[in-house]
Amino acid sequence: MTAVARSAENGLEPEPKVMEPDKCEGWSWSTFSDMRKMTAATGAELFKPLYSLMEQRTELCKLLESASGPSGLFPAAQQ
């Protein structure tokens, strides 16, 4: 099961933190629209459940695209 949640912004820009450095080199901010464009061909790799969500629930993705978090950005893992 993959859970997706959205929360209200409190005016702060949270900084994503690497909790498992052996699995992830770092994080950067990306718009949801940019994440939808990420593919293996671009050298970017999305978390598999997120990729599956984008493939299977396009209507939800369009809603998320219009209601992104702080400044319209989501954290995206760096490889």
pLDDT tens per residue, range 9-35: 666 667 778 888 898 887 777 777 777
Across the chain, what does the average pLDDT equal?
Answer: 70
pLDDT band at residue 71 using 50, 70 and 90 as cut-offs: very low
pLDDT at 59 over 80: yes
Is residue 26 within 8 A of residue 79, CB to CB? The reply is no
Q: Which residues contact 34 (CB under 8 A, 6 or more apart)?
A: 76
Is residue 79 within 8 A of residue 50, CB to CB? The reply is no
Is residue 56 within 8 A of residue 24, CB to CB? The reply is no
